[in-house]
Amino acid sequence: ACEGASAADAWEAGERARERELEAAAAAAASQSAAAWEQAESQACEGASAADAWEAEERARERELEEGVEAQAEAKAARARAAEAAAAPASASAPASATAPVPVPAPAPVPAPAP
C-alpha cells in the first residue's frame, strides 16, 4: 500500500509538472503571439505611414505640375502680348504730334502747250 501510495504521489507530481509545463508553454506562446501581433501592428502602421508619405509626395508633385502649367500659360500669354506689341507699327506707339500728317502743297498747274 505504501508503494502504491508513493506511485500515485509520483504520478500526481508528474501530472502537476506536465500541467506547469503546458501552462508555461501556453504563456510563452501567448507572449510570442502578442509580440507577433505588436510587430504586425507596427509594420502595418509603418506601411500606412509610408503610404501616407507617398500620397503626400504625389500631391506635391501634382501641385508643382499644375503650377508649372499655369506658369507656362502665363509665359505664353506674355510672349503673345510682346509679339503683338512688336507687330504693331512703330507710329502707333509714338505721340500724336509726331504722327500728325504733314501738309503737302498741291502741285502747280502745268500750262497746256499752245497750238
Give me the DSSP letters along the chain. Answer: -HHHHHHHHHHHHHHHHHHHHHHHHHHHHHHHHHHHHHHHHHHHHHHHHHHHHHHHHHHHHHHHHHHHHHHHHHHHHHHHHHHHHHHS-HHHHS-HHHHSPPP-PPPPPPPPPP-
31-73 pLDDT, tens digit per residue, is 888 888 888 887 777 777 778 878 888 888 888 888 888 888 8
Looking at per-residue confidence, does 80 or 2 come out higher?
80
Residue 56: Cβ-neighbour burial (10 angstroms; 0-12, 13-18, 19+): exposed
Question: In whole angstroms, what separates CA 73 from the centre of its chain?
Answer: 22
Mean pLDDT of 92-101: 57
What pLDDT, in 10s, does the model give residues 5-28? 787 888 888 899 999 999 998 888
Q: What is the pLDDT of residue 34?
A: 82
Does residue 81 carry a pLDDT above 80? yes
Give the start-to-end residue ranges of the domains of the chain: 7-85
Task: Report the C-alpha gap between 74 and 58 in whole angstroms.
Answer: 24
Q: Would you state the pLDDT for residue 95?
A: 56
